[in-house]
Every structure is written in C-alpha cells, then in structure tokens.
Amino acid sequence: MADIFKISENALFTTTKPNGSHQQDCVIAVHERLAVSNFSDHLTFQPGTEHTLYNLIDPSIEIKVVVEGTTPDKQIIHFKTCDDKEFPYFLRSAVPSGTKKPYNLLGIHQEKRIPQWSVGDILRRAVGEILVGSPAGSPGSAVIDKSGYLMGMIIKSENNEVLIASTVLIYGLLPTGDPDPDRVSF
C-alpha cells in the first residue's frame, strides 16, 4: 500500500473506546478542528453535546469534541474539537470535477478494529453534490482519490451502490462555513 494511503489511516476516529465491544463507527478528521461521520451511526447525538473521539491507529489519542451540527436528511454529522485542540492528522479534500473516477474506500473492519481498504468508481451524479459509486461500502467511510485527497463520505449503501456526499456538500453544510476553500480538483 502506498505511503499516502497508510498515512490517511491516521485521520480515522471512532466514538467507541478501544476496548469496547460496540460497533466501530467511522469518524473522519477533515480539518484541524473538524470531523464528520454518518448521522445514522449517531442518532442520539444532539448539537452542542460533548463526546470523545478515539484514534483508530493510536488509541492513546483521545480528542474531546462537541457536535457542531447535524443534517439528518443528508446523513451527515459534524464534530468540532473542544478547547482549541487540533487533530494530529486530517484528510485534505478535493473538489469533484467529473464522474468515472476510481476511488479508494477507507473504513473500519468491525471485528478487528483496524482500517479496511477497498476500491470503487464514481459512476454518476445523483442530485447536486451527491455522487453514486460502486461497489457497496459502509456509511461513514472515507472516499479518497488516487493522490490521497478526500473526495467525500459514504452516506448510504444499497443495491451494490453507494451514495457519496462530496466534500463540497460536507463543507457547505457546516454552520461555520467552508474551512478549506483552497481544495484541489479531482
């Protein structure tokens, strides 16, 4: 595996403790102080509530966050770090520029609690900044281009296809606005 992808694994967090037996929800650090996940994994989380994120690669890294906002209709939840703490690593993002693009999918292997990689292709745009990809993957997983840039996050999986919220949509829904206006195109 290329170093750029191995490094990307450092941006994976979960809200479950390392020794817990709960399902490992995938939370992606997308900026120094921001992370996103699939809302359906966090239905009980309300805006303004505090939680702890645990790094998947280094379980000793714990970061206190507050729910910055939720958009249940788009299946996205945004977290912001507390006390000006920053994520040690985050995925830089890219602006979508077309379809028929290959991607690398970064999620969490549930039984082993380790990063899980697979590949797929952007097939088409669904509506606005929602993309359709194949094959299926787990909601909350990061969709990464060949250069290691975040393209989006899986928000729904069905019929061997996935719906992907592009980074434009993810950042556009932030209450504080786009923190990464200098994204590259993929």
Distance CA 78, CA 162 (A): 20
The pLDDT value given to residue 63: 98
Return the closest-CA partner of residue 118 out of 102, 133, 106, 108: 106
**How confident is the model at residue 185, as a pLDDT?**
44
Torsion angle (degrees, nearest 10) of CA 180, 172, 42, 15: 0
Ordered by where they begin, the domains of the chain are 3-81 (2.40.10.10), 94-169 (2.40.10.10)
Which pLDDT score, from 0 to 100, does residue 91 have? 92
Q: Considering the entire predicted model, what is its pTM? A: 0.87
Report residue 33 as tokens: 């102080």
Tell me, what's the pLDDT at 186? 38
What DSSP character marks residue 11? G
**Who's near 171: CB < 8 A, 6+ residues apart?**
30, 93, 177, 178, 179, 180
pLDDT per position in the chain (186 positions), as tens? 578 889 999 999 999 888 776 777 899 999 999 999 987 767 788 899 999 999 999 989 999 999 998 887 778 899 999 999 999 999 988 766 666 788 999 999 888 889 999 999 988 877 778 888 887 778 889 999 888 889 899 988 888 888 898 888 888 777 665 555 554 443
